[in-house]
Amino acid sequence: MKYGTWLKKDDDRAEVITKPKKNPRTYRYPFVRVSDAWMLTRERAWYTEHALTFAAGGLDGPLVRKQMHPEQTTFDDFDDRPSEYRRVEVASTATAD
């Protein structure tokens, strides 16, 4: 059975594949092309240093280790302060007499 580490690359996708010698499991670490760089498709902690080093040596661009969610265009969506573009409703503070 074949074992080792190799890089499988298309135009806009790449994958580092690791097959340990004494382990029947195959590990896959995917990347996608973003402009001139390669972006991790999962969180950074999921990738091993071996996979990142192997990818950095075989890919034709830098690795982008942080990923912003595609729908996150500004930080306004994550800001809990009132904004002139958002409707703010204030809870009633009236008390019963």
Q: What is the pLDDT of residues 1-35, one digit of tens each?
A: 588 999 999 989 999 999 988 888 999 999 999 88
Kindly report which listed range (24-28, 36-40, 90-94) carries the lowest average pLDDT score: 90-94
Number of neighbours of residue 47 by Cβ within 10 angstroms: 20
In angstroms, the CA 18 to CA 35 distance is: 26
pTM: 0.63
Q: Is 44 helix (H, G, I), strand (E, B) or coil?
A: helix
Q: What pLDDT is stored for residue 94 in this prediction?
A: 55
What are the residues facing 19 on neighbouring strands? 4
Average pLDDT over residues 47-71: 81
If one compares 70 and 8, the residue with the highest pLDDT of the two is: 8
Q: How confident is the model at residue 86 (pLDDT cuts 50, 70, 90)?
A: very low
**Which of 12-16, 64-68, 87-91 is predicted least confidently?**
87-91
Nearest Cα neighbor of 37 from 6, 16, 54, 14 is 14
